[in-house]
Amino acid sequence: MTTLEESPVVAGEQTVPRDGGSRFRRRPPQRRAPRPPRVEGPPSRTETASAVLSTSATMVALVTLWMALQMLVLGAVSQERSQSLLYDEFRSQVAAATASVGPVTEPGAPVALLQVPRLGLQQVVVEGTASGDLLAGPGHLRNTVLPGQAGASVVFGRAATYGSPFRDLDQLEPGDRIEVTVAQGKVAFTVTSVRRSGDPLPQPLAAGKARLTLVSAEGHGRLRAIAPGDALYVDAEASSAFPAPSGLPPTVPDSEKPMGTDAGVLPLLALDLALLLALTLGVIAARQRWSLVHVWVVATPLAIALAWVTTDAVMRLLPNLT
């Protein structure tokens, strides 16, 4: 029989004996009901606008930076590789006596090897002077004889982008030597003048002699290295030359003249820009379903590939001597 003094007193969750004993009994823990899963609604207008702005800004920055990198750095790597392939091709053609002697040559084909010892310059000259032709190296103006043949020959070269092979033409002086190798052999020229637009033209050539004119661009002010705008001409003559075949075209399109641009590439440029816009919209939609990191891991290589072809199209719209 339990006395009143030994009866337990209930305190909170424990049953405590009156005699201060350590024995107690816990109540069973109460289980909480599971929370219902969180259902995410559609993004708000603010979130959508933020995604559009950030994605668009990222794409514009990516394409712009890539274009600058390609024009000034990666373009030089591309041009150097093209020159290596052209040199092997031209050397093989000369050895096999299949190199072109004119008057009509397929644009982009190698026609001569140009060497300027004072500048440490060696470049394979391709046929054609449009912006697209000069991405691979200096180009021969198609309505003139090939370098080293009797008559006047003109070669264009870039001054600021894609290797800028002719950026130092203004350092040449009368008396400097220029060597040219063509299918018919090798000819040495001597620089006679360095002139700009508006300067007097050289005197007419004597019969049997050859003249070579190198054409590039030069700029003024702080941006002269990346934004040349005026044509620069270097004239050189040789006392002997190889015979030139007849049948030269009387003229060339405006896109192949000094500082010419190729407007025919506009449809391709419009397609490239449309693909970039479609990629931007795709990234915006993908960000609503997947993480930002995963989306850009997939989208960045596509954006770079489109930026590459877009830059090539833009280069054809820029003056051919820059």
Of all residues in the chain, the percent with pLDDT exceeding 90 is 61
Q: Return the CATH class of domain 66-263.
A: mainly beta
262 touches 129 (CB < 8 A):
no
Using CB atoms within 10 A of its CB, is residue 180 exposed (0-12), middle (13-18) or buried (19+)?
buried
Domain residue spans of the chain: 66-263
pLDDT digits (tens, 9 = 90+) for 105-140: 999 999 999 999 999 999 999 999 999 999 999 999
308 touches 66 (CB < 8 A):
yes
170 touches 193 (CB < 8 A):
no
What is the per-residue pLDDT for 186?
Answer: 96
Instruction: Tell me the C-alpha distance between 97 and 150, whole Å.
Output: 20
pLDDT digits (tens, 9 = 90+) for 192-213: 999 998 899 999 998 889 999 9
135: left (phi over 0), alpha (psi -120 to 50) or beta: alpha
What is the per-residue pLDDT for 54?
Answer: 85
User: Taking the CB of residue 320, how many other CB atoms lie within 10 A of it?
Assistant: 28
217 touches 319 (CB < 8 A):
yes
Instruction: Tell me the C-alpha distance between 319 and 322, whole Å.
Output: 6
* Strands annotated E in 183-306: 185-196, 210-218, 230-238
What is the per-residue pLDDT for 292?
Answer: 85
Dihedral sign from CA coordinates of 159, 216, 113, 67: positive
Dihedral sign from CA coordinates of 59, 275, 81, 258: negative
pLDDT digits (tens, 9 = 90+) for 164-191: 999 999 999 999 999 999 999 999 999 9
- Residue located via tokens 């003139």: 144
Give the pLDDT mean for 261-269.
91
User: Taking the CB of residue 214, how many other CB atoms lie within 10 A of it?
Assistant: 27
